[in-house]
Amino acid sequence: MFPSQKSLDKMVIIGIETSCDETSIGILKDSQLAANLIASQETLHSRFGGIVPEIASRAHLEKIAILFRYALEKTGIVSEKIDAIGVTNKPGLKGSLMIGVSFATGLAYALKKPVYHINHLHAHLAACYLNQNISFPALGLIISGGHTNLYLLRDHINLHLLGKTRDDACGEVFDKVGRMLNLPFPGGMHVEKLAQKGDEKKLNFPVAFIKDSFDFSFSGIKTAVYYYIMKHGIKNAPDIAASFQKAITDSIIMKINDAIEMFKVKDFLFGGGVIRNEYLRKKIIEHLSKKGVRAIMSPPDLCMDNGGKIAILTSYMIAARKKPSPYKILVYPTK
């Protein structure tokens, strides 16, 4: 079932995200985000130092309907006005994905509206589409807690994976280094804060660079930081954080450079939680502007997992006349 014949820029599109530890509902109305509500589970998981899948899915179940109702109230939208629903169905935690897809399917069925299953990684880059005229083909890099993926974007919805991490994801390494430095979970933003007080040239942490491939590897730097701390302790934690952040940033910029040498693009898109890191953003923007490539960064509030970016990508699926998904609970979790 296709959405009504209404023009796309007048549609109300709901985006639902429950792939990991954020329950989120976004509403795209007249091509702008009217709401993007996120119920984070950070405090539920932090005492375990990582995400507990069973706790995550239970928390999604408790929050999702309340959040949806609140989003409608906040925007003054009645459910009959909804034109389409987009929901993350991959990748992520199985139980968590099932809560979102079940809710979306039930809602779509009750309202007799189409539902679109969305790859939440692609949606990380869709956060860059809002109010931007992108020149295709473009390159895109997602740096999140679970993934580090480099894509060639043929258009808004056709993405070709060029490379990914062979071991830990970049955000995961930030979190692990955060834990080594006794910082709260998730450690990424705390490492960044601590790094502001340190000297990035103090320590030299090596990062593996995989030649002739767009793949990344971050476990080497994690091990290097670990051995340094085993030997010297964390007395100079700010220098450790700053030198680690610099090494990671340098290695990402090297890959970005390889990619723009091979694909002569005008635009390079960036999304995912780690892209909130101001240091990394600034270094990437500086580097690309020297090379004449425009860096389009996901706005900081759309970097983390959120329903807004799911609604944005759904609008491009509709624009491309993609067939809606069946009213079935089909999920493709992270293996």
The residue (of 127 and 152) whose beta carbon lies closer to ligand KG4 is 127
- Which residues contact Zn ion (rule: CB under 5 A)? 144, 305
Which of Zn ion, ligand KG4, none binds 26 (CB below 5-8 Å, type-dependent)? Answer: none
Q: Which does 103 bind (CB under 5 to 8 A by kind): ligand KG4, Zn ion, none?
A: none
Nearest residue to ligand KG4, by Cβ distance, number only: 273
Least distance from ligand KG4 to the Cβ atom of residue 48, Å: 15
Provide the 10 A C-beta neighbour count for residue 264. 9
Nearer to ligand KG4, 108 or 275 (CB): 275
CB of 304 to ligand KG4, least distance (A): 4
Q: How far apart are CA 79 and CA 327, in angstroms?
A: 18
The option from ligand KG4, Zn ion, none interacting with 188 (CB < 5 to 8 A, set by class) reads ligand KG4
Least separation in angstroms between residue 288's CB and ligand KG4 is: 19
User: Judged by CB, which is closer to ligand KG4: 145, or 308?
Assistant: 145
Partner whose footprint covers residue 192, from Zn ion, ligand KG4, none (CB < 5 to 8 Å by kind)? ligand KG4
**157, burial (CB in 10 Å: exposed 0-12, middle 13-18, buried 19+):** middle
C-alpha closest to that of 109 among 308, 319, 330, 328: 328
Nearer to Zn ion, 144 or 298 (CB): 144
Determine how many CB atoms are found less than 10 A away from the CB of residue 111.
17
Q: Which does 140 bind (CB under 5 to 8 A by kind): ligand KG4, Zn ion, none?
A: none
Instruction: Compute the CA torsion angle 22, 186, 120, 327 (nearest 10 deg).
Output: -30
Helix, strand, coil share of the chain (percent; to 5): 45, 20, 35
DSSP letter string, 2-46: PPPSS-GGG-EEEEEE-SSSEEEEEEEETTEEEEEEEEE-HHHHH
Report, in Å, the least distance between residue 284 CB and ligand KG4: 13
CA pair distance 32, 9, nearest whole angstrom: 9
> Cβ of residue 240: shortest distance to ligand KG4, in angstroms?
15
Q: Which helix (H) or strand (E) holds 73?
A: helix 53-75
d(CA 204, CA 216): 19
Least gap, CB of 172 to ligand KG4 (angstroms): 6
Closest to ligand KG4 by CB, 26 vs 186, is 186
Q: Which residues bind ligand KG4 (CB under 6 A)?
A: 20, 144-146, 171, 174-175, 186-189, 192, 272-274, 276-277, 304-305
**Cβ closest to ligand KG4, residue 296 vs residue 304:** 304
Vertex 178: Cα angle to 177 and 182 (nearest 5): 115
